[in-house]
Amino acid sequence: MSKAYRYQQLESWLLEGITGQRWRVGERLPSVRDMCREQQVSKATVLHAYQRLEARGLLEARPKSGYFVLPDVANRGAPHIVSHAIVAPAPVTVSDVVMDVMDRGAAFDILPELRGLELQAGRDTLYSRSVDQNRKMTSPANHAGITALNRSIGRALRSQSDRAHQYYDEPAGDAGLREQLAQRYRRHGCESSADDFCITAGCQQSLFLALMACCQRGDIVAVESPGFYGVLQLLEQLGLQVVEIPASAVTGMDTEALERALQQWSIRACVVTPAFATPTGATLPSASRQTLLALADQYDLALIEDDIYGDLGFFGRPDPLKAQDKSDRVILCSSFSKSLSRDVRIGWIEAGRWHHQVKRLKLVTSLASSRFVQQGLASFIKDGGYDTHLRRQREQLRQQRNELVEFLDKHWPKEICFSVPEGGLALWLQLPQGINTLSAYGAALNKGVVITPGALFSSTDHYRNCLRLSFLHPLTASRQEALKILMGVLSH
């Protein structure tokens, strides 16, 4: 019996075990050592078999934990890349209904927003039952990071000099925080120094400054479709025209479609989220990145990189597009809002050749950021608190993604397909054509369920049968209940 035969035999035997539910979805396979002993094979053979199943998308290797059974979503498939013709550039006009949904925060939760309820510490809430359940389910690991961060900000606050309150921070932001950011990006191939960064009030402000710096009213901007609704809002407010480039739920923006658009229209800038884009969770493959950078050079394009989910890769942090930016035309935008806290209101921008304009615009539109908050963050990062938090956060999100995928796989009809991203905060679901998630929004809200309809992620109506579902929160009993209610609403 050849070794090749042995691992193939083992692979088939494991596959049978998985499909026959000897090992169920989410369960851990025996350790390599145990499997060696049990099957009387070498360690190399077991590893070979496990890795082949991993490559087929049936197992998932978790660092220091072993191999786990993934839900077999292959037969569902990810949502198709929408093969619609590109609509000619036009000013963005987002409908009132969509604006209303956006205004409510386009929730990363399916339970009613707790804003103004639970968040007012110590107040009784309308949703006390589910809130109590949720509180119990909040991972202590995750909370430890936030406690450490808050302690660090508190320390920075107390250590301000007597007269610090009389001075604005420098326009580019705290030098210590910029240095920490530069160091982190250098680990991922970027050559930026602290002086190339400008601190902002969050990624949305970074995107705003980027668009203000490189576009004039009436200019055409290319965006992913589906893509981040915040960018559509910005384009509307700044009087810019949009051209939506189809994006796959797995591999992101279709660069061939982008090239056709560039040939047809004079496009000034392209907003792209190379890592775990919202709403799909797609990650741009290396080849697409190369194409994108080449097209940017050829057509003199500003590439606005939304890197907000970059730190939330379950299996490591992908290098940003900026790392390969030879001609200084990538404007890197990000913040701590998704990876750490939405309440510190600190983001950053590395604007390449537009650095000077961006710094000027930041000064003119908002003067400065809070020094003590920046210093607290800088210490938190320097002391290793952020990396520790990220490790826990990524592991927790990965588990929550699996819980959600398993739940949907088990309880929702098979004709619904969805992406299974390797980072970020949400799945993208494609429901049968007849279903309109925007119409279902009100009905779901009436039953205490908040959804994020596909319509939010485009100025076209291509995604009315789509839905973003977040796995930011643990799948508590009340969230499972909400998913069941939602399925009922959507089926009507």
- Name which of residues 79 to 108 contact its own copies (CB under 8 A): 99, 103, 105, 108
Question: Residue 14: CB partners within 8 Å, gap ≥ 6?
Answer: 29, 49, 50, 53
The yes or no reply on residue 366 touching its own copies (CB under 8 A) is yes
Question: Cβ atoms within 10 A of the Cβ of 445, count?
Answer: 15
Smallest distance from its own copies to CB 252, Å? 24
Q: How far is the CB of 327 from its own copies (least distance, A)?
A: 26
> Per the omega criterion (within 30 degrees of 0), is the bond before 79 cis?
no
User: What DSSP letter does each residue of 427-450 carry, written as one string?
Assistant: EEEE--TT--HHHHHHHHHHTT--
# of chain residues touching its own copies (CB under 8 A): 72
Task: State the Cα–Cα distance between residues 352 and 356, nearest whole angstrom.
Answer: 9
> Which of residues 174 and 325 has its CB atom nearest to its own copies in the complex?
174
Peptide bond into 140 cis (omega under 30): no
Q: Applying CB under 8 A, which part among 138-146, 314-322, 399-407, 426-434 lies near its own copies?
A: 138-146
Among 50, 185, 197, 208, binds its own copies (CB under 8 A): 208
What is the footprint of its own copies within residues 323-362 (CB under 8 A)? 337, 340-345, 360-361
- Mapped onto helix, strand or coil, the DSSP state of residue 475 is coil
Q: Note whether 317 binds its own copies by CB under 8 A.
A: no
- Per-residue binding string, its own copies, 447-486, x by CB under 8 A, is -------------------------xx-------------
Query: Which of 69, 86, 153, 349 forms a contact with its own copies (CB under 8 A)?
Result: 153
Contacting its own copies within 368-407 (CB under 8 A): 368-373
Chosen residue from 204, 225, 458, 476 binding its own copies by CB under 8 A: 204
Site string for its own copies, 210-249 (x = CB under 8 A): --x----x------------x--xx-xx------------
Helix-helix angle 255-264:286-298, to 10 degrees: 10
Q: What crossing angle do the helices spanning 477-491 and 385-411 adopt, rounded to 10°?
A: 50
Indicate whether 434 belongs to the interface with its own copies (CB under 8 A). no
CB of 311 to its own copies, least distance (A): 15
Phi, psi (deg, nearest 5) at residue 277: -55, 145
Are residues 366 and 202 in contact, defined by beta-carbon separation less than 8 angstroms? no
Min dist. Cβ of residue 436 to its own copies (A): 25
- Of residues 436, 423, 443, the one with CA closest to residue 463: 436
- Considering the complex, what minimum distance in angstroms separates the CB of residue 145 from its own copies? 9
Written as one string, the DSSP assignment of 190-225 is ----GGGEEEESSHHHHHHHHHHHH--TT-EEEEEE
For its own copies, which residue of 266, 367, 383, 432 counts as binding (CB under 8 A)?
Answer: 367
Indicate the residue among 192 and 335 with the shorter CB distance to its own copies: 335
Q: From CA 433, how far away is CA 463, in angstroms rounded? A: 9
Taking the least distance from each CB to its own copies, the nearer of 271 and 361 is 361
